[in-house]
């Protein structure tokens, strides 16, 4: 987990996100708990969206997703159901 | 039932940046106003309940070719036709000029049983245009409807008065503005977007409506719409807390903020 | 089922150029783009190599919205607390026909979408293609927003992740070993400050690439491109190396550390963050390309693997544009022949070879192996700095001795057999 929480949040605050009701990333937390040993999602996500909650389960703050797909590609155990957000939703880059 | 829906296209405000206290419109797409979509949805429901008729989306433009693309959104949502009053003179128009152009277009493309509006535009939000158009067309007007029903000759509208709900009836034709609670505007399906490109779009110049640039010229000028800037004194006191407090009190007294 | 002649999935550069090329020949073509506008989902470093593109639809580029023509190239090696920069300013970089421009995708892609629309294409935004429709092997259209639409040819230009084509088995799912992740900040600065900081003539731009400490020894680097009134500052790093690190380092920290480095800080001073973005880049090279055509479909742009990550420069936009052009030509040929079978669409490969796309991919063949070599990104940048420090140092020893010692040090550091091997593997880059 990040040593300086909030640092990436401030950056995400500069972006426009159009939020859908449904998450576009769903974690198979059972697989994370029972099979995964490395939890690389915590390390690779450029938006620092992955966290372990109090029960030790993986969670993702999908609302701030930059849609780069790094977590999907890097997940050892294929524990993510990851789609692009519905058309018109998600991050809308204006200057990149 | 034949219904005209007045729509205003505006930049997608969520995508707009503000820099040096001015909006940055570069690369920001335009879309049909949020409340106008509620009006459009209400029109489609009334048309479908009546079983026949047409819904015509009416707008004004300073002549940018892109307006036709933007109006496709209204057609994709379900309007049967679009009418665009297009003239460079409309670029500077205020609400009075816009209302003249809209009323002219509605008169020419009509007759209509009903003229619908959102209660205000997403960007300007003056809420003036509907009443002005109603007046020009000589129509009774109901503002802020949160539900609408039609029996053919009579239109019934409900509006929220905070504590109570008011129910109003009017003979048709009439003009009505709607609030966002009235419905959930539909998101156009791909099929309807594809069909939108084939629906008729009519363009009028001011001359077609017996208007000219002078008629729609603005009658007032906006000098500035920025919030008032307040300058602060930025005084910092150093030293021991007690000394700082003393200095602060003295300064406030000197400013006349604290009594003498 | 409603039908159009061609569907293009993805309103990025590859898809929009393909749509333009088809529409101008009178083909009924529809582009599906999931963003609010073309470019809303797209991230690039910021530099479009223009020279190879001028022959593709020459009428197209005159009013292209660019930020600045690149007139100054800088490569900075960061290591051991030092920065060594090699710099080139040349009339041949800019001049009347600049080699490259910095660009922003929201503007570039929307401009291209307008061109395609004006030529007669239908560009539908806010619309994600959810699935490719199949009839056996054949792709017969897409499902999107609850509707099914058929097409004689579907051009899949969905970008690097290839979710649709991968999901349909037309290509492999992306692997970490073949991809890097890039993330960047747009930092606003006044145009005059940019011109002063990079010593540019008015309106001209700079491209500065960084290797070494930026990536903590991992393959990749940093980049900085000057836009008109902002700079794009970012890091690209190998996904495989990022995910197999044994420490706790998080990817995003690389960019923060980079920005804080003593040698970078003055470049971004006073700037204001305006956007933060991230995107994957394909770096698998020519050996990992999927088959780019089949019955009823073509893959274009990075969805087909057309991108090169050569040391510190990423190239994909020009390849996307050229492959979009080739895809349009292939679809036109299939239409003329009344045949969109895999055999008929195989002409796509020939058109790709006629452009620079395959030549560029071929030239990049050696790169994937070379960039796995971590010495390049960790040891050499520091060694170069130490060598130069020797030259610049002034202290008690006579300067002659100093130069001699530093040269001896350099010999020790560089003239290992590995260095020769590295040089050999880099000769193509
Ligand atoms: C950090 C970074 C730096 C780079 N630097 C450079 C550089 O300086 N120069 C250079 O030339 N290249 C650079 N590249 C590479 C270049 O940006 C890409 O190769 C290029 O953008 C690929 O273009 P494309 O059209 O194939 O795909 P994209 O630009 O990715 O376009 C794909 C489009 O498809 C849409 N889409 C995807 N799926 C769907 C769906 N299911 N339905 C509807 N729409 C969909 C997306 O929204 C998007 O608009 C860089 C890349 C990165 C990440």
Give me the tens of pLDDT residue by residue for chain B, a chain 260 residues long: 999 999 999 999 999 998 888 899 988 999 999 999 999 999 999 999 999 999 999 999 998 878 999 999 999 999 999 999 999 999 999 999 999 999 999 999 999 999 999 999 988 889 999 999 999 999 999 999 999 999 888 999 999 988 999 999 999 999 999 999 999 999 999 999 999 999 999 999 999 999 999 999 998 888 888 888 888 888 899 899 999 999 999 999 998 888 75
Task: Determine how many CB atoms are found less than 10 A away from the CB of residue C168.
Answer: 17
Residue C412 pLDDT greater than 80, yes or no = no
Residue C364 pLDDT greater than 90, yes or no = no
Mean pLDDT calculated for residue range C247-261: 95
Tell whether C218 lies on the interface with A, counting CB pairs under 8 A. no
Do C237 and C219 meet the contact criterion of CB atoms below 8 Å apart?
Answer: yes
Q: Which atom of ligand 1 sits closest to the CA of residue C164? A: 41
Measured from the CB, is residue C31 less than 6 Å from ligand 1? Answer: no
Question: What is the pLDDT, as a whole number, of residue B231?
Answer: 84
Mutate to test the pocket of ligand 1, among C18, C30, C31, C45 (most ligand atoms within 8 A of CB): C45
3-class secondary-structure state, position A28: coil
C145: nearest CB among B17, B19, B189: B189
Do B62 and B23 meet the contact criterion of CB atoms below 8 Å apart?
Answer: no
Residues on chain C touching A7 (C-beta within 8 angstroms): 252, 256
User: Right CATH number for A19-88 from 3.90.1170.40, 3.30.70.20, 3.40.190.10, 3.40.50.2020?
Assistant: 3.30.70.20
Measured from the CB, is residue C46 less than 6 Å from ligand 1? Answer: yes
Positions of E strands within A3-96? 16-18, 25-27, 50-52, 58-60, 80-82, 90-92
How close is the Cα of C302 to the center of ligand 1, in Å? 7
- Token code pair at residue C335: 């239409």
Number of domains in chain B: 2
Q: Which atom of ligand 1 sits closest to the CA of residue C13? A: 25
Residue C281 pLDDT greater than 90, yes or no = yes
Q: In chain A, which residue's Cα lies nearest the Cα of B28?
A: A94
Q: Are B146 and B235 part of one and the same domain?
A: no
Q: Are B118 and B244 part of one and the same domain?
A: no
Mean pLDDT calculated for residue range C85-107: 91
Q: Which residues of A25-59 are buried (b: 16+ CB within 10 A; e: fewer)?
A: bebbbebbeeebeeebbbbbbbbbbbeeeeeeebe
Nearest alpha carbon to residue B70 among B126, B8, B6: B8
Q: Are B180 and B237 part of one and the same domain?
A: no
Residue C429 pLDDT greater than 60, yes or no = no
What is the band of C401 on the pLDDT scale with cuts at 50, 70, 90?
A: low
Question: What is the pLDDT, as a whole number, of residue C51?
Answer: 83
Do A92 and A18 meet the contact criterion of CB atoms below 8 Å apart?
Answer: yes
How close is the Cα of C12 to the center of ligand 1, in Å? 6
DSSP secondary-structure letter at B169?
A: E
Measured from the CB, is residue C279 less than 6 Å from ligand 1? Answer: yes
Question: What is the pLDDT, as a whole number, of residue C284?
Answer: 92
Distance CA B243, CA C321 (A): 70
Tell whether A45 lies on the interface with C, counting CB pairs under 8 A. yes
Question: What is the pLDDT, as a whole number, of residue C381?
Answer: 75
Mean pLDDT calculated for residue range C269-283: 97
**CATH number assigned to the domain comprising residue B10:** 3.40.50.620
Instruction: Report which protein residue has its CA nearest ligand 1's atom 26.
Output: C301
ipTM for the assembly:
0.95
User: Which of C 173-202 lie inside 8 A of A, CB atoms?
Assistant: 174-176, 179, 181, 183-186
Residue C396 pLDDT greater than 70, yes or no = no
Do C187 and C273 meet the contact criterion of CB atoms below 8 Å apart?
Answer: yes
> Domain limits at B81?
3-209
Question: What is the pLDDT, as a whole number, of residue C52?
Answer: 83
Q: In chain C, which residue's Cα lies nearest the Cα of B187?
A: C145
Task: Determine how many CB atoms are found less than 10 A away from the CB of residue B233.
Answer: 6
DSSP secondary-structure letter at B239?
A: S
Does residue B215 belong to any structural domain of this protein? no
Distance CA B183, CA B48 (A): 15
Q: Are B177 and B251 part of one and the same domain?
A: no
More confident residue, B238 or C382: B238
Tell whether B27 lies on the interface with C, counting CB pairs under 8 A. yes
User: What's the gap in Å between the CA of C11 and the closest CA on chain A?
Assistant: 12
Q: Does B27 contact A94 at a Cβ distance shorter than 8 Å?
A: yes
What is the band of A2 on the pLDDT scale with cuts at 50, 70, 90?
A: very low
Q: Are B181 and B236 part of one and the same domain?
A: no
Q: Does A16 contact B27 at a Cβ distance shorter than 8 Å?
A: no
Residues on chain A touching C230 (C-beta within 8 angstroms): 95
Question: What is the pLDDT, as a whole number, of residue C402?
Answer: 59
Q: Are B244 and B145 part of one and the same domain?
A: no
Distance CA C6, CA B245 (A): 76
Measured from the CB, is residue C12 less than 6 Å from ligand 1? Answer: yes
Does residue B138 belong to any structural domain of this protein? yes
Instruction: Report which protein residue has its CA nearest ligand 1's atom 21.
Output: C317
Does residue B222 belong to any structural domain of this protein? no
How close is the Cα of C320 to the center of ligand 1, in Å? 8
Select from B11, B13, B14 the residue whose CB has the most chain A CBs within 10 Å, as the one to mutate to test that interface.
B14
Residue range A49-71, pLDDT digits in tens:
999 999 999 999 999 999 999 99
Average pLDDT across chain C, whole number: 91
Residues on chain B touching C274 (C-beta within 8 angstroms): 17
Q: Does A93 contact C41 at a Cβ distance shorter than 8 Å?
A: yes
Instruction: Report which protein residue has its CA nearest ligand 1's atom 34.
Output: C10
Mean pLDDT calculated for residue range C311-330: 93
In chain A, what are the domain boundaries?
19-88
CB proximity list for C295: less than 8 A, separation 6 or greater = C137, C138, C139, C340, C341, C342, C345
More confident residue, C400 or C347: C347
What is the band of C202 on the pLDDT scale with cuts at 50, 70, 90?
A: very high
Domains of chain C: 2-65+104-172+290-355 (3.50.50.60), 177-282 (3.30.9.90), 370-425 (no CATH)
A3-12, B39-48, B248-257, C399-408: range with highest mean pLDDT: B39-48
């Amino acid at each position: 987990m990040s040593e300086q929480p909030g640092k990436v949040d401030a950056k995400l605050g500069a972006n426009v996100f159009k939020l859908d009701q449904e998450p576009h990333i769903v974690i198979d937390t059972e697989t994370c708990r029972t099979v995964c040993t490395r939890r690389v999602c915590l390390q690779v996500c450029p938006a620092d969206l992955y966290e372990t909650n109090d029960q030790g389960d993986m969670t993702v703050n999908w609302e701030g997703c930059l849609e780069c797909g790094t977590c999907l590609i890097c997940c050892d155990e294929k524990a993510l159901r990851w789609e692009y957000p519905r058309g018109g939703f998600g991050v809308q880059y204006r200057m990149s | 039932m034949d219904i005209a829906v007045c729509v205003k296209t505006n930049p997608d405000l969520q995508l707009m940046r503000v820099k040096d206290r001015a909006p940055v419109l570069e690369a920001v797409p335009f879309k049909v106003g949020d409340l106008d979509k509620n009006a459009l949805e209400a029109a489609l429901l009334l048309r479908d309940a009546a079983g026949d008729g047409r819904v015509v989306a009416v707008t004004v433009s300073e002549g940018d070719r892109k307006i036709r693309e933007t109006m496709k959104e209204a057609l994709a949502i379900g309007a049967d036709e679009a009418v665009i009053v297009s003239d460079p003179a409309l670029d500077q128009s205020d609400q009075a000029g816009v209302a003249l152009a809209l009323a002219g277009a509605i008169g020419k493309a009509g007759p209509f049983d009903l003229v619908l509006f959102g209660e205000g535009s997403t960007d300007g939000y003056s809420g003036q245009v509907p009443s002005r158009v109603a007046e020009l067309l000589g129509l009774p007007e109901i503002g802020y409807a949160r539900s609408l029903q039609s029996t053919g000759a009579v239109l019934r509208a409900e509006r929220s008065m905070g504590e109570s709900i008011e129910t109003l009836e009017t003979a048709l034709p009439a003009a009505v503005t709607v609030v966002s609670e009235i419905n959930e505007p539909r998101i156009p399906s791909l099929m309807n977007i594809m069909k939108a490109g084939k629906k008729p779009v009519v363009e009028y110049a001011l001359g077609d409506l017996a208007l000219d640039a002078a008629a729609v010229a603005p009658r007032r000028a906006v000098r500035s719409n920025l919030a008032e800037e307040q300058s602060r004194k930025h005084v910092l006191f150093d030293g021991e807390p007690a000394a700082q407090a003393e200095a602060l009190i003295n300064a406030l007294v000197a400013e006349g903020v604290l009594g003498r | 089922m409603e039908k159009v002649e061609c569907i293009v999935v993805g309103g990025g550069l590859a898809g929009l150029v393909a749509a333009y090329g088809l529409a101008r020949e009178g083909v009924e073509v529809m582009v599906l783009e999931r963003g609010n506008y073309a470019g809303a989902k797209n991230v690039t470093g910021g530099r479009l190599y223009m020279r190879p593109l001028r022959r593709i639809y020459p009428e197209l580029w005159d009013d292209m919205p660019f930020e600045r023509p690149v007139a100054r190239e800088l490569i900075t090696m960061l290591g051991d607390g030092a920065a060594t920069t090699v710099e080139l300013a040349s009339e041949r970089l800019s001049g009347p026909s600049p080699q490259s421009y910095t660009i922003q995708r929201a503007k570039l892609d929307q401009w291209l979408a307008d061109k395609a629309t004006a030529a007669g294409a239908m560009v539908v935004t806010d619309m994600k293609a959810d699935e490719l429709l199949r009839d056996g092997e054949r792709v017969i259209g897409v499902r999107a927003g609850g509707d099914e639409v058929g097409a004689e040819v579907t051009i899949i230009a969905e970008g690097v992740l290839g979710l649709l084509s991968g999901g349909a088995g037309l290509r492999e799912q992306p692997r970490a070993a073949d991809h890097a992740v890039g993330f960047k900040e747009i930092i606003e600065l006044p145009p005059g400050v940019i011109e002063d900081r990079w010593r540019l003539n008015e309106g001209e731009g700079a491209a500065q690439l960084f290797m070494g400490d930026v990536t903590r020894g991992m393959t990749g680097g940093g980049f900085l491109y000057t836009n008109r009134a902002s700079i794009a500052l970012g890091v690209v790093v190998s996904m495989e190396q990022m995910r197999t690190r044994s420490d706790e380092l998080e990817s995003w920290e690389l960019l923060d550390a980079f920005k804080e480095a003593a040698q970078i800080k003055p470049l971004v001073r006073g700037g204001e963050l305006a956007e933060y973005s991230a995107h994957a880049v394909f770096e698998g090279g020519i050996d990992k390309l999927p088959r780019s055509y089949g019955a009823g479909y073509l893959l274009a742009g990075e969805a087909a693997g057309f991108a090169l990550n050569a040391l510190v420069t990423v190239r994909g936009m020009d390849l996307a544009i050229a492959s979009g052009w080739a895809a349009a030509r292939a679809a036109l040929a299939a239409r003329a022949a009344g045949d969109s079978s895999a055999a008929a669409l195989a002409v796509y490969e020939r058109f790709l070879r006629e452009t620079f796309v395959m030549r560029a991919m071929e030239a990049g063949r050696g790169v994937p192996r070379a960039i796995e070599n971590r010495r390049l990104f960790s040891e050499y940048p520091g060694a170069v700095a130490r060598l130069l420090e020797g030259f610049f140092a002034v202290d008690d020893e006579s300067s002659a001795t100093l130069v001699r010692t530093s040269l001896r040090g350099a010999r020790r550091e560089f003239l290992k057999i590995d260095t020769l091997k590295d040089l050999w593997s880099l000769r193509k880059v």
